Amino acid sequence: MPELPDVEIARRVIEERGLGRRIASVEDSDTWVSRPHGPGEIAQALTGARLTAAHRHGKTMWIETDTGPVVGLHLGMTGGIRVDEDPDPRGWDRFALEFEDGGRLALRDMRRLGRAVLDPDLSRLGPDAAEVGRHEFRERVGRGESPIKARVMDQNVIAGVGNLMADEILWRARVSPRAPAGELTDDRLDELRRATRAVIRLGIREGHAGVGELNPHRIKGGTCPRCGAALEHDRVGGRTTFWCPREQG
């Protein structure tokens, strides 16, 4: 689920329902999700602190506190943020801040590919996909020999685009996912950026990343919602990819 729009929604939830609340205790015993921290380490840093701000860059979120420590949160593949809900009966709450008012903020994540860490390292993330400028997009995305799809999903290049959004973006811009990134013209790159921004805005408005016209047809036997051609599917950049061979050939 989580791509940039999902994470932005989660960030807003934290902002609206978490800020100002004081942490009484922290559930940080899942040391896989909280690696490299040991059990109790995050709790020690955060207990007594009050949440003061919630930020996002790409798919990474972080929460600031009035005493200094920063909590980084990543939703991984199946993670989500839950505020003031009962603990998950299946044990999928991998990390939680428990507030002195009795409420809690949980990272619920079946597959445990999410992360909760102190002072997250954001240095290797490219510019946020929702904010990146035209020039920078051309420079960063339009280079290299790898397929353009791999390029736009590379978080070091631009941050926030995942597999589903990448297919939607490429389909909208009528660019083949396999096109070598460095061979795209500036015009094509500008169209890609335009589609990226549109898909992100749509996702945020609708409340999740799995939106768009292509997405419902992203199944075996699916057809292009524009021209009706049978969609192709294969692995590109290591990920399952659907595209229209007629329009994105």
Partner DNA sequence: ACCTATGTTGATAC
Partner DNA sequence: GGTATCAACATAGG
Would you please indicate which residues are annotated as catalytic (active-site) residues?
2-3, 59, 239
2 binding DNA? (CB under 7 A): yes
Strand-pair partners of 99:
23
CB of 218 within 8 A of CB of 242? yes
Show the DSSP H helices in 62-185 as ranges: 134-141, 148-153, 163-173
13 binding DNA? (CB under 7 A): no
Span near DNA by CB under 7 A; candidates 11-19, 48-56, 185-193, 233-241: 233-241
Strand-pair partners of 65:
51
Task: Give kind and range of the element (H or E) at residue 197.
Answer: helix 186-206
The one-letter amino acid at 142: G
Q: Which is nearer to DNA, 99 or 215 (CB)?
A: 215
124 binding DNA? (CB under 7 A): yes
Touching DNA, residues 190-219 (CB under 7 A): 208-210
CA distance 164 to 241: 8
- Of 184, 153, 156, which is closest to residue 248 (Cα–Cα)? 184
Residue with tokens 């593949």: 77
Residue 42 has phi, psi (to 5 degrees) of: -70, -40
Q: Which is nearer to DNA, 74 or 82 (CB)?
A: 74
153 binding DNA? (CB under 7 A): yes
Span near DNA by CB under 7 A; candidates 15-23, 61-69, 110-118, 128-136: 110-118
Q: Which is nearer to DNA, 121 or 187 (CB)?
A: 121
Shortest Cβ distance from residue 195 to DNA (Å)?
16
240 binding DNA? (CB under 7 A): yes
* DSSP-derived secondary structure for 2-39: -SHHHHHHHHHHHHHHHTTPBEEEEE---TTTTTTSPT
Q: Which is nearer to DNA, 25 or 146 (CB)?
A: 146
172 binding DNA? (CB under 7 A): no
Beta strand ranges found along the chain (DSSP E): 23-27, 51-57, 60-65, 70-74, 79-83, 93-99, 104-109, 115-118, 232-236, 239-243
Span near DNA by CB under 7 A; candidates 41-49, 129-137, 159-167, 190-198: 159-167
162 binding DNA? (CB under 7 A): yes
Shortest Cβ distance from residue 165 to DNA (Å)?
7
Q: Which is nearer to DNA, 116 or 209 (CB)?
A: 209
- For DNA, the binding residues (CB under 7 A) are 1-3, 32, 58-60, 74, 76-78, 90, 92, 110-113, 124, 144-147, 150, 153, 155, 162-164, 181-182, 208-210, 237-240
